Amino acid sequence: MNMAGTVTEFGGVPRSNTLKVLGLELFSIGQVTSEDASFEEMQWEDEAGYFRFLLRDSRLVGAILLGDTGLAARVQRAMETREDFSQFVRMQGGVPEFLAYLQE
């Protein structure tokens, strides 16, 4: 039961970690390794950093942002709201396209 007197089940909040060591920033949230073929993994590395996203049923279930963590709040919000990325999944884009999609 919540404070308003309504019976409600708490779904939890995705675990996240933020770290900055020697000028290198790291953000990770949720599940970052797939358990089976039902997960879609995307990873990419460039001069800005390393990016890894894990989706299941068109929803983001985990991410690692190493270097450029500018989208950390957006990624966390997408996970907390269980945002549906089926439109992006249909486009079959990679990480650079997913980063752009998150910025829209």
* 16-103: in CATH 3.30.390.30: yes
Q: How far apart are the first and last CA of the chain?
A: 37
Per-residue confidence (pLDDT) for residue 11, from 0 to 100: 57
Amino acid in the structure at residue 85? F
Give all strands (DSSP E) within the chain, no chain letters.
16-21, 24-30, 39-46, 49-56, 59-67
Q: Which has the closest alpha carbon to 84: 47, 63, 58, 64?
A: 58
pTM to 2 decimal places: 0.81
Each domain of the chain, given as residue ranges in start order, spans 16-103
pLDDT tens, 44-79? 999 989 999 999 999 999 999 999 999 999 999 999
Q: How many C-beta neighbours within 10 Å does residue 19 have?
A: 11
Predicted confidence (pLDDT) at residue 93 exceeds the cutoff of 70 = yes
22 confidence band (pLDDT: 50, 70, 90): confident
